[in-house]
Each structure stands twice: as C-alpha cells, then as structure tokens.
Amino acid sequence: MTDTKQVHVRIEREGDQQQYLSVALSGALTIDHVADVQQQLLQHLDAVQGVRLSIDEADEMDLPFYQLLISLQQTLIKQNKEFSATILLDEEKEELFRRAGFEFNF
C-alpha cells in the first residue's frame, strides 16, 4: 500500500541580499517525509544567515518531524544563525507534543 499523503515544502530566499531562508511547511509532516525535508533544508543552510519557518495547515505532525525542527533550531544556534518559527497546530496536536514532553519554544 502506497502512502498518498504528501508534505508541501516551499523554500524561498528573502532579504535585501537574500540572506534569509523562508520555509513554509504544510500537509503530512511525518516520519515518512523527514529525510526528504531535511535534505531540502540542508541544501540551503550554508548560504544563509537565518531561517524563518512557518507551519500552517499541517494535516499531520508526528514526533520525529518535531525532532527534525529541534535539530534545525540547534544546528542554526551552533552556527550563530537566526531562527524564528510560526507554528499553528490544532489543540489535539499541541497536546500530543506536551504529553511527550516537548514544548514549542521557538
């Protein structure tokens, strides 16, 4: 059986000198898509001063995908780069993460 759920990734450069990466994620933010999204992000990180992440309309979001976001945040911090995130999730998804011990502190 093939997974037909998709993740939607939009990556754009922004800023006066295109020094920031604007990343918009939606759809199935799950373990099935972690490697692909990670690869897409890694292709751009060296050339930017920061990342502005936006998650809206997430049909699904699981803990492995959340761990990818934490890893992205920590990588940027270690490289002295900026990171900001706007994550809009329904109450059920937020509760799942709280119960797992995660806090949205982006």
Residue 55: strand pairing partners: 25, 87
pLDDT in tens, 65-94: 999 999 999 999 999 999 999 988 888 888
CATH of the domain at 36: 3.30.750
Q: What is the pTM for the complete model shown?
A: 0.85
Tokens, residue 99? 């119960």
Residue 25, exposed/middle/buried by CB under 10 A (0-12, 13-18, 19+)? buried
Rg (CA), the chain: 14
Q: Would you say residue 98 has pLDDT above 90?
A: no
At residue 1 the predicted structure's pLDDT band, cuts being 50, 70 and 90, is very low
Whether pLDDT at 3 is above 60: no
Residue 104's pLDDT band (boundaries 50, 70, 90)?
Answer: low
- The answer to whether residue 1 is domain-embedded is no
Q: Is residue 6 part of a domain?
A: no
Domain assignment of residue 79, yes or no: yes
Q: Is residue 105 part of a domain?
A: no
- Residue 51 belongs to a domain: yes
Number of structural domains (the chain) is 1
Q: How far apart are the first and last CA of the chain?
A: 36
Is residue 11 assigned to a domain? no
Asked if residue 17 is part of any domain, the answer here is: no
Domain enclosing residue 28, as ranges:
22-98
Q: What is the pLDDT of residues 7-60, one digit of tens each?
A: 999 999 998 888 999 999 999 999 999 999 999 999 999 999 999 999 998 999
How many Cα atoms sit within 13 Å of 74 on the Cβ side? 6
